[in-house]
Amino acid sequence: MIFENSNEILGLYELGPEDSPVVCNVRETDMTFIWNVADRMDITIDKVHFQLGKNQIIFLTEFHRVDYIEIEAARMVRFNQPFYCVVNHDNEVGSKGLLFFGAAGVPVITVDQTRIRDFELSWEIFRSEMSKADILQQDMLQAMLKRMLILSVRILRQSNNLNKLDRTQGEIVREFNYLVDKYFASHHNVAFYASQLNKSPKTLSNLFALVSSRTPLNIIHDRIMTHARRQINYSNLSIKEIAYELGYEDIQTFSRFFKSKEGVSPGHYREKQEQPLLQ
């Protein structure tokens, strides 16, 4: 079921075993969340494997590369930025830096039995509204999308301990994650992000220590590595070009950084990834 108004697109999909191409057919600015309603779903994103149990939901942007997905039964919502921009409308939902455009990894939530009816009801109304072609349809579809995102944000905030923070502290964590996702290629130090948030690096470190074992610098480095692996795996860029793209002036500095995180040099990592293709 697809709603389309000029370049504004929203799709609702009931997925089965034959629908993996639908998941992988991602357009520019697409945001996606996939709700597994079977006992198990296997999905590999940027060569990292995720196994989802029943009523787990995973959130993806256009920048995530789905290598493989095995579906028994799932529901998918996909919308583009013209239909609903999660950045421009962040005050309505609060998903920026959590569900989408965050540097902390691929978000996955678990909908427990106390919340499942809220999601089921939202899906039922969503499907019903997709068939009502009137002047209020788009407003209603956006409202239902926002509802599902808000329900998801509540779960994610609780699961990653953000509920331990007050509102201002939580906003700082979200904004930091968003800024890292936006600027990781050009700014590698915590001081830059602290200055953008009008905080000291020490304040950021203390704040993150309340909710996670990962420091702000860990998050920056992990985001750099995610992009580096993605480019090595999927692009034809040379290691030198990838290093330059990530803000490293020389390949030696980048290679030392990569090896310290991955255990092998970028060149050896690429060779290792290519080996199965040559067999």
Domain layout of the chain by residue ranges? 2-160, 167-278
Asked if 2-160 and 167-278 have one fold, the answer is no
How confident is the model over 43-65, as a mean pLDDT? 93
How confident is the model over 32-39, as a mean pLDDT? 96
Backbone angles phi, psi at 195, to 5 degrees: -65, -35
8-15 and 48-53 as β-strands: parallel, antiparallel, unpaired?
unpaired
| Cβ neighbours of residue 46 closer than 8 Å, sequence gap 6 or more | 64, 65, 67, 226, 229, 230, 233
Superfamily of domain 2-160: Regulatory protein AraC (2.60.120.280)
Q: Does residue 6 contact residue 48 with C-beta atoms inside 8 Å?
A: no
| pLDDT of 271 above 50 | yes
Question: Does pTM surpass 0.85?
Answer: yes
Residues 92-118 have pLDDT tens digits of 888 888 899 887 789 999 999 999 999
2-5 and 48-53 as β-strands: parallel, antiparallel, unpaired?
unpaired
Q: How confident is the model at residue 131 (pLDDT cuts 50, 70, 90)?
A: confident
Q: Does residue 212 contact residue 160 with C-beta atoms inside 8 Å?
A: yes
The rounded Cα 43 to chain-centroid distance in angstroms is 14
DSSP class of residue 27 equals P
The rounded Cα 36 to chain-centroid distance in angstroms is 16
Environment class of 7 (CB within 10 Å of its CB; exposed 0-12, middle 13-18, buried 19+)? exposed
Q: Where are the alpha helices (DSSP H) in 131-238?
A: 137-159, 167-183, 190-196, 201-209, 216-234
State how far the Cα of 279 lies from the Cα of 275, in Å rounded to an integer: 7
How confident is the model over 58-64, as a mean pLDDT? 92
Q: Does residue 219 contact residue 180 with C-beta atoms inside 8 Å?
A: yes
Least reliable range by pLDDT among 133-137, 148-152, 195-199: 133-137
Q: Where are the alpha helices (DSSP H) in the chain?
A: 20-24, 90-93, 116-130, 137-159, 167-183, 190-196, 201-209, 216-234, 239-245, 251-262, 266-278
| pLDDT of 180 above 90 | yes
How confident is the model over 62-68, as a mean pLDDT? 90
CATH topology of domain 167-278: Arc Repressor Mutant, subunit A (1.10.10)
Environment class of 4 (CB within 10 Å of its CB; exposed 0-12, middle 13-18, buried 19+)? exposed
